Structure 1
Amino acid sequence: MTIDEKLSHFYDVTIADAQAKAAGILEEHRKALAQMTEKHKADSQENAQVQIKAETANARREINKALSAEQLTIKRDWTKKQNELKEKLFAEVKTQLENFRNTPDYPAYLENKIKEALDFAEQDKINIYLSPEDSALLPDLVERTKAFITVSAEGFLGGIKATIPHKNILIDHSFAGNFQAIYKEFKFDGGPKHE
């Protein structure tokens, strides 16, 4: 083999070896890039999942916040409407009480309540009071019940009040007392008492 042939052969072998080494380096580099790409994809997906979870949690908080605010507004409006209806209802009840006081049944009602108070007191001294609005009924009630009845200094929408001083007892059959008690207890979920 001549020197030129040897050089040509050496050149070919060296080039082939360099190409093989370059191909190996390129393959390693491709594998490293593929691994880096996969790792980057996995990291990106993991970051995306974390971000989605964070955004979802944030969206839930915002929705809950808006829902709470809306529930509060609805409850406030509902309570306001209930109060309006309660006022309207009790204004109507008051009107009905006033209308009842102008019926023929009202004096009989008062007479019955006075007799109940007298029966309850038995032999004890009892003070019976009429509301000033009912002072016109006083003579007739005294005659029919034979009780000592006084017109109260303060009005109580009708009915009677009685005291038994010896036993420290107040009998309150006044419309105002009952009206106020029912007004305070009244709820729209079943009237005065919801069971």
Structure 2
Amino acid sequence: MTIDEKLSHFYDITVEEAHEKAAAILDEHKAALEKMAEEHKTLSEENAQTQIKAETASARREINKALSAEQLTIKRDWTRKQNELKEKIFSEVKGLLESFTKTPEYENYLTAKIKEALDFAGNDEITIYLSPEDRSLAEKLQHTTGTAIQLAKDSFLGGIRATIPQKNILIDHSFAGNFEAAYKEFKFDGGPEHE
């Protein structure tokens, strides 16, 4: 082989080796880039999932916060409405009590309550009190029941109160006492289970 042939052969082999090395380097680089791209894709998907979870949790918190605020508003409105209705109901009841005190049945009621108190006291001393509004009935009730009746200093809407000093007993058949007790204990029960 001549030198030119040897050089040509050497050149061909060297170029071929360089092409093979370049192809191997390119394949290696391509594989590394593909691996990096896959890792980046996986990381991006994980980040996206994490962000979705965080935003979902944040949205749930906001929804729960808004729901709690709305429930509180509804409860306040409900309580306010209940109080308004309670006041209206008890205003009507008070009006009915006042109307009742102007009927003949009221006088019979007072007579019955006075007799109950007298029976309860037996032979013990008893003091019967009427509300100041019932001043006009006092004399007739004294005659009907045969006992002294005093007018109380404070109004109690009607009914009677009686004291038995020897036994330290107060008998309270006043409308005010029952009215106040009913007012304090009054609750709105509703819904299917109470119908």
> By the TM > 0.5 criterion, same fold?
yes
Aligned counterpart, 2:78: 78
Alignment of 1:155-194 (within 5 A): 155-189=155-189
Letter in 2 for 1:181: A
State the TM-score, normalized to the length of structure 2: 0.94
Residue aligning to 2:61: 61
C-alpha distance after superposition, 1:1-53 (max 9, x if no partner):
22222222211111111111111111111111111111111111111111111
Partner SS, residue 44 of structure 1: helix
Amino acid at match of 2:148: F
Offset, 1:167:
1.2
Matched, 1:103 2:103: yes
Pairing 1:139–2:147 present: no
Deviation of 1:89 after TM superposition, in Å, equals 0.5
Counterpart AA for 2:59:
A
**SS of equivalent to 1:172:** strand
Task: Give the 5 Å matches for 1:2-151.
Answer: 2-151=2-151
Distance 1:66 1:121 in 2: 63
Q: CA deviation at 1:76?
A: 0.9
Q: Distance in 1 between matches of 2:31 and 2:167?
A: 104
Instruction: Please give the alpha-carbon distance, in whole angstroms, between the structure 2 residues aligned to 1:6 and 1:141.
Output: 151
The two structures have a TM-score, normalised by structure 1, of 0.94
Three-state SS of the structure 1 residue aligned to 2:79 is: helix
CA distance in 1, matches of 2:189, 2:55: 41
User: Unmatched 5+ residue regions in structure 2?
Assistant: none
Superposed CA deviations along residues 104-145 of structure 1, whole A, max 9, x for unmatched, are 110011111111111111221111100011111111111111
* C-alpha RMSD of matched pairs (Å): 1.3
CA distance in 2, matches of 1:30, 1:123: 118
Q: Secondary structure at the match of 1:63?
A: helix
List, as ranges, runs of 4+ consecutive aligned residues in structure 1 with deviation greater than 3 Å: none
Distance 2:169 2:33 in 1: 98
Tell me how far apart the structure 1 counterparts of residues 178 and 11 of structure 2 sit (CA, whole Å).
120
Whole-angstrom CA distance in 1 between matches of 2:124 and 2:89: 40
SS in 1 for 2:128: strand
Structure 1: unaligned runs, 5 residues or longer: none
Question: Sequence identity of aligned pairs in percent?
Answer: 70
How far, CA to CA, are the matches of 1:5 and 1:151 in structure 2?
147
